[in-house]
Amino acid sequence: MPIDSWSRQELGFVRVASCAPDLRVADVEYNVQQICAALADAATVDVQMVVFPELCITAYSCADLFYQDHLLQAALAGLEQIATATALNFVSCIVGLPLRVAGRLYNCAVLLSAGRIIGIVPKSYLPTTGEFYEQRWFTPGDRALPATIHLAGSQIPFGVDLLFVAEEMPGCVVGIEICEDLWAVEPPSGRLALAGATVLVNPSASNELLGKADYRRDLVRQQSARCLAAYLYAGAGAGESTTDVVYSGHCLIAENGTLLAESTRFQLETQLIVADLDMQRLDHERIKNSSFSQAVGAVDLRRIPFTLPNAFAMAAPLINRPLARTPFVPADPARRADHCREIFSIQALGLAKRLRHVGARAITLGVSGGLDSTLALLVTVRAFDLLGLDRSGVIAITMPGFGTTARTRSNAEQLALDLGVTLRTIPIGDSVRLHFRDIGHDETQHDVTYENAQARERTQILMDVANQVGGLVVGTGDLSEAALGWMTFNGDHMSMYHVNAGVPKTLVRYLVAWCADELFTGTTAAVLHDIIDTPITPELLPLGANAQLEQKTEDAIGPYELHDFFLFHVVRYQFAPTKVFFLAQQAFAGVYTDAVILRWLGVFYRRFFAQQFKRSAMPDGPKVGSVALSPRGDWRMPSDAVSALWVAEVERLRQ
Q: Please give the positions annotated as active site.
A: 54, 123, 179
620: amino acid identity, one letter: D
Give CA–CA dist 104/527, Å, rounded: 75
Rounded CA-CA distance 443/186 in Å is 71
Strand pairing of 13-20 and 49-51? Answer: parallel
| Contact predicate 287/573, CB 8 Å | no
Contacts 24+ apart (CB under 8 A), 73-81: 74/28, 74/29, 75/28, 75/99, 76/151, 77/28, 78/28, 78/29, 78/31, 78/32, 79/110, 79/112, 79/117, 79/152, 80/117, 80/152, 81/32, 81/36
**3-state DSSP call for residue 553?**
helix
SS3 15: strand
Q: Are 386 and 349 in contact (CB under 8 A)?
A: yes
Following DSSP, what letter does each residue of 183-249 receive, concatenated?
HSSS-HHHHHHHTT--EEEEEE-PPP-TTHHHHHHHHHHHHHHHTTSEEEEEE--TTS--SS-----
Say if CB 529 and CB 391 are below 8 A apart: no
- The DSSP annotation for 266-298 comes to S-SS-EEEEEEEEHHHHHHHHHH-HHHHHSPPP
Residues 490, 453 contacting (CB under 8 angstroms):
no
